[in-house]
Amino acid sequence: MYACKKLEKKRIKRRKGEAMALNEKRILEKVHSRFVVGLCYTYETRDFLCLVLTIMNGGDLKFHIHNLGNPGFDEERAIFYAAELCCGLEDLQRERIVYRDLKPENILLDDRGHIRISDLGLATEIPEGETIRGRVGTVGYMAPEVINNEHYTFSPDWWGLGCLMYEMIEGHSPFRKFKEKVKREEVDRRVRKDTEQYSEKFSEDAKSFCKMETKLTPFLPLVQLLTKNPKQRLGSKAGAVEVKAHPVFKDINFKRLEANMLEPPFCPDPQAIYCKDVVDIEQFSTVRGVYLDTADDTFYSQFATGCVSIPWQNEMIESGCFKDINDVEPEENMVLNVEEKTRYPVSKTKRSFFYRLFRRGLSY
C-alpha cells in the first residue's frame, strides 16, 4: 500500500509554488531513509501532479499531542520519537540537506508506530563549505538565526528538534500556547528574547536537552537545543553524533533503532482514524481565475518523470512483483498457418503496468 499526494495544478500556479513542488520532488528522489517518507513514483493527470509516497496511516504528531487525552506524551514516548527524528535529520544532513520546517504536523506515524519526516517543500541543499540565508519556516518554530535572516547551515533543524521535544512533553510549543492568539511579531520576539518555561513534566535529562543556558562551566559550555546562539547550540559542532550522545538518550540503542529492531512505545489502532472529521472541501475550494497553458508544460515535464526510487525498485524485485506486473496477459488472438498447421501469436505492442495504470489517472 502506498499513499498518493495530489497537488492541484491551478492552486500551484496561483501561489507560484512551482519551485517548491519541484524542489520537494527532487529532494525526495535523493534521500533514502527509513525516517523520511520515501518517493516511489511521480505522474500527472489533467488537473493534478501526483507523488506516490510511503503510506503513513497512523496520523501526525500534532493530532496525537492535542487530540488524544491530555496534551502531550509521557517522556519515554517523546524521547523515542526524538531519537528517530535525530536519525532522520542525520540522514538529511548526510546529503547536505537542511529541512527548516520541523513541526508536529509534518511528522507522520506508520502502522507500527514509527515516525517519518514529511513535506520537504522548504528543505534545501547546502553546497559543501557554504552557508545559506532565508527566512522560511513556520511561526513559533523558526530558529532565531532564521528570524534574523542570518547565514546558517543545519542549526535551524536542531532548534526545531528542541521545539518539538518541548511540545511533545509539555503539550504546547515553547513560545506560544496551543491556539493562543498572538501576533507574529510577538512570537518572533519571544523566540529571540524570552526563556521558555519548564513544568514538572520534564525530567532533568529532558530539561537539559532543550533548556537554554547562558552560564558556562569551567571547562565546557552548557549547550542545549534551544540555545539562542547557533554556534553554541547542541549539534553545532559534531551534528547528530553530538545530539545522540546526550544523556536523554541513554536508554536508546541507536544501532538497533536504525535497523528497525526497536518496538515503538505506541502502536496505532488499525481500526482507528487518526485525524479530525473533515467535510469534503473540494466543493467549495475551486480555484478560479487561473488557467493552464502550454507555458506550464515544461514544469510538468520536469515533475512527472516517474523516477522510481532505488529502495522501491529493490522491493519490487525481491517480492517478485516486478516480473508479475510487467508480464503481458496471454493473448487469444492467434493466426493459423495452413501449410504448417502451426499457431503463432499476433505481435502486440507491450505496455508496462505503470503506463496502463497511470494513463487512466489512478492512484494507490
Structural domains in the chain, CATH included, are: 1-56+276-364 (3.30.200.20), 61-258 (1.10.510.10)
Q: According to the model, what pLDDT value does residue 352 have?
A: 58
**Known active-site residue 101:** yes
Catalytic residue among 47, 74, 91, 101: 101
Q: Helix 75-94 crosses helix 155-170 at what angle (to 10 degrees)? A: 160
CB 191 within 8 A of CB 142: yes
pTM above 0.85, yes or no: no
Q: According to the model, what pLDDT value does residue 131 have?
A: 95
CB 80 within 8 A of CB 62: no
Helix or strand run (H / E) with residue 5: strand 2-8
Q: According to the model, what pLDDT value does residue 280 have?
A: 46
Phi, psi of 295 (to 5 degrees): -65, -20
Which bin fits 150, alpha (ψ -120 to 50), beta or left (φ > 0)?
Answer: beta
Cα angle value 238/244/250 (rounded, 5°): 145
Q: According to the model, what pLDDT value does residue 341 have?
A: 46
Joined together, the cell numbers standing for residue 357 give 495504470
Q: Compute the distance between CA of residue 82 and CA of residue 140 in angstroms, rounded to an integer.
A: 18
Spans in the chain with pLDDT lower than 70: 212-223, 277-286, 307-316, 321-364
Q: Compute the distance between CA of residue 142 and CA of residue 156 in angstroms, rounded to an integer.
A: 7
Instruction: Please spell the DSSP secondary structure of 306-347, one letter per residue.
Output: B---HHHHHHHHHHTHHHHHHSPPPP--EEEETTTTEEEEPP
User: How many Å separate Cα 360 from the centre of its chain?
Assistant: 28
Question: What is the per-residue pLDDT across 203-217, written as a single tens digit (0 to 9) for each?
Answer: 999 999 998 654 444
